[in-house]
Structure 1
Amino acid sequence: MKILIIEDNKELAKSMEFYLEGENYICECAYSYNEALERLTFNSYDCILLDIMLPDGNGLNILNYIKTEKINSGILIISAKNALDDKINGLEKGADDYITKPFHLPELHARLRAVYRRNKMDGYNEVRFNEIILNTDTYEVSINETRLEVTQKEFELLLYFLVNKNRVLSKQSIANHLWGDYTDNLANFDFVYQHVKNLRKKIASANGNDYIETIYGLGYKFNALKYNGS
């Protein structure tokens, strides 16, 4: 899961980033309204942690931007203790949930997972497609009821394909989703090819169908229609 943390308190933002990266998430931070808009313009995220009170703007306007631009990210509002109006306005504008400062990081993690399940997985902790089953709690992959040994990045890559079925994903978008800021200054994204190749090989070893297609000059697509999937 890739997370954008929009929070002007750098100590709190770094604390959330450190904790969530320990839970194997990719995290990026924006410490101001303008920085948040810039990141949302050029990157995609599974979930967004959104502080309402920012030094150069109102987080609710960022929420409006997300909805206007039809950005498909789960949104968890971070609100001040007594900011009831912000919570209500945020939920009415389309936020998925809110958490009140101060909060415990394990609670933040649990709420994020719940938002992600509702937003991407219809409320379930498993993603199923034909012979493929992914469990997002245990990071296990099964093909034809056979457990597949995959790395964390291979799991995340397959999950990214499954929640974006039939969409062409560029090498850059895959790299950015799985590695975040670390890919900003790379000259090329050829390493993505090797990860896709390894994943396809492992799926084939369990007699799984080869849904992942190479779209030359563009990237890759998980073709859900190729074997009469839905």
Structure 2
Amino acid sequence: MKLLVIEDEADLASSITGYLADYTCETAGTFAEALEKIEQHEYDCILLDIMLPGGDGIRVLEEFKKLNRQDGIIIISARNALEDKVKGLKKGADDYIAKPFHLSELAARIHSVIRRKNFSNADVITQHELSIDLLSKKLEVHQKEVPLTKKEFELLLYFLGNKNRVISKSALAEHLSGDIADMMDSHAFVYAHIKNLRKKLTDAGYGNYLKNVYGTGYKWED
């Protein structure tokens, strides 16, 4: 799962990304950086500070909605006035949390938004013989646990959240590594993670839902 933390307080941004180490996190510290990120990349959830150098976070939200995107958005702000909350939610944010906040609460809200957006508000995702527990990050196939690495689990969720859609190798690389994907010479690391995930699923007896799309990428078929 990939997050964007739009926050100009460097220490707070660092604390958030450190606490959310299970996610692939990118950051933006200014209005201009935030716009650039949302125009070029997709995220499972965006944490958006209202007060940013160079512009208002609400304007970022407005520009985001013009793109007709479905990424989850949580506003984080020191402004706790009711009108600020109402304005942000009316503009399309999914949640609002006021500073200071406990990182554990923020993590719970992120989980809730992603679960609602991608997995119909379920904590346990099932597809035939597969069962994925989002909270414990465990996969079972035919009621037997299949151990996955962090990246393999991320890949599996990404495929399940985009069932029946062709996903390019570039999109997979970006999802797994964020900004540094553009700096890599090849997609070898993507192939390696997919190969390992597919072998574990095949050995466990899953229904061969992960398909290669020649010259393009991959598709998870239901």
TM-score by structure 1 length?
0.92
CA distance in 2, matches of 1:140, 1:47: 21
Distance between the aligned counterparts of 2:108 and 2:114, measured in 1? 10
Residue 96 of structure 1 is aligned with which of 94, 97, 104? 94
Can you list the C-alpha shifts for 1:48-80, whole angstroms capped at 9, x where unaligned? 000111111111122122222121211100122
CA RMSD of aligned residues (A): 1.3
CA–CA separation in structure 1 for the residues paired with 2:30 and 2:170: 25
Task: Name 2:73's counterpart in structure 1.
Answer: 75
Equivalents in 2 of 1:64, 1:164: separation in Å? 25
Q: In structure 2, what is the Cα distance between the partners aligned to 1:195 and 1:51?
A: 34
Between the aligned partners of 1:2 and 1:214, the Cα distance in structure 2 is: 23
Work out the CA distance in 1 between the residues paired with 2:147 and 2:156.
Answer: 13
Q: Which residue of 1 aligns with 2:138?
A: 140
SS of the counterpart of 1:184?
helix
Q: Match of 2:101, as an amino acid?
A: F
Of the candidates 31, 41, 48, which is equivalent to residue 39 of structure 2?
41
Aligned to 2:201, which of 200, 203, 217? 203
- Identify the match of residue 193 of structure 1 among 180, 191, 199: 191
For 1:65 and 1:212, how far apart are their aligned partners in 2? 35
One-letter code of the match for 2:45?
A: C
Instruction: Give the secondary structure class of the aligned counterpart of 1:158.
Output: helix
Partner SS, residue 88 of structure 2: helix
Structure 1 residue ranges without an equivalent (≥5): 225-230
Between 27-36 and 58-67, report the one with greater CA deviation: 58-67
Residue in structure 2 matched with residue 216 of structure 1 by the alignment: 214
Q: Deviations over 1:76-112 (max 9, x none)?
A: 0012244332211111122111110111111111111
Moved beyond 6 Å, runs of 4+: none
Give the counterpart letter for 1:74 in structure 2.
G
The one-letter amino acid of 2:189's match is: F
Give aligned pairs, total: 222
The one of 181, 184, 188 aligned to 1:183: 181
| TM-score, normalised by the number of residues in structure 2 | 0.95
Aligned-residue offset at 1:140: 0.7
Does the 8 A contact of 1:128 with 1:134 survive in 2?
Answer: yes
